[in-house]
Chains A and B, each alone.
Chain A
């Protein structure tokens, strides 16, 4: 069984630094930068649950499935 991988991006230009994605990502994929804006720090942990995409009030986040690795 290949492990699904996801590409998570944050549009920093529209992020309002609300902290919702950081608080609700069950896999702690996000951290914050010096402006408290969201940063995708550990994308490889993303399971594709899309909680961040649903809860970001500014639609800054996209989660896209990228590949199926043969191992893992």
Chain B
């Protein structure tokens, strides 16, 4: 471990419980590197997570942290940000957490555009509960709940969030760890609701069932299938078949940030109280 880990991690909780080769550790490393680069004081950061292997991240990092309930991290985070606007709020969710049980919270958080940053660990499976398929499991993949392959089409989380009104949307991977740090920094600096979807890997509950021999092979898959968004624009559509774009996908500064709007309500209420 290096200085950065000693500064931002709860060293008494190390080593973490994530399985050998799990992408979650790589994402945590990229995240604390982003916080270091942003120069935020640890006490001004609030890290909120839901339930799942990914949700364990808040136990390991030395910020103001809260490990909430499955699918509800954004609701807790919304309350925290409204009560303490000075806090830099980051929300960590798995794909099941964010787009299955928590899907409704996600689209409404996008719509409101409150200044927070969501980091979604998309490992295409329910890791913690043993490998049930999620809304992002690709079609024809194996899961404990789909022994003959899944039949459902998968959600594109980033596109879903753009459609729902998030004002900064990016996609990274655990393989492209440097890029991921850059995207988290940009998402944090963006004044509005930011989503960073991270394509990552669960070697145990997804990989083993779907012919990946090792965690390294799953990282290699990310390397080979993630295409820089700028490059993708110039590529023929058929070359993008089965691949996904990475980098900044969407940014808008036209939609008002929610705290500013809500500030007007607070002001009106205060004025009424005075009169």
Where the two chains meet, the residues of A that have a C-beta atom closer than 8 Å to any C-beta of B are 11, 14, 16-20, 22-24, 53-60, 62
Contacts and interface: CB of A to CB of B under 8 A. Distances in A.
A18 B14 contact: no
Residue among A16, A54, A56, A57 with max Cβ neighbours from chain B (10 Å): A57
A57 B216 contact: no
B14 A55 contact: no
Interface in B14-33: 14-16, 18-26, 29-30
Contact of B216 (A14, A19, A62): A19
A53 B19 CA distance: 18
Contacts of A58: 15-16, 25
Interface of B: 1-2, 5, 14-16, 18-26, 29-30, 174-175, 177-178, 203, 214-216, 219-220
Contacts of A24: 216, 219
Contact of A57 (B1, B5, B18): B18
B24 A62 contact: no
A20 B219 contact: yes
Nearest to B175: A55
Given A14-B14, A53-B2, A62-B2, A23 B25 contact: no
Contacts of B219: 20, 23-24, 55
B113 to A, nearest CB: 32
Contact of A18 (B5, B20, B174): B20
Contacts of B214: 18-19, 23
A60 B2 CA distance: 9
Contacts of A55: 26, 174-175, 177, 219
B215 A59 contact: no
5 contacts: A16-B21, A18-B214, A54-B177, A55-B174, A57-B20
B30 to A, nearest CB: 8
Nearest to A18: B21
A51 B216 CA distance: 13
A20 B174 CA distance: 12
Given A19-B216, A53-B2, A59-B14, 8 more contacts: A16-B21, A18-B20, A20-B215, A55-B174, A57-B23, A57-B25, A57-B29, A58-B16
Nearest to A54: B177
Nearest to A64: B2
B200 to A, nearest CB: 10
A11 B30 CA distance: 20
Nearest to B203: A18
Contacts of A57: 18, 20-26, 29, 215
B25 to A, nearest CB: 3
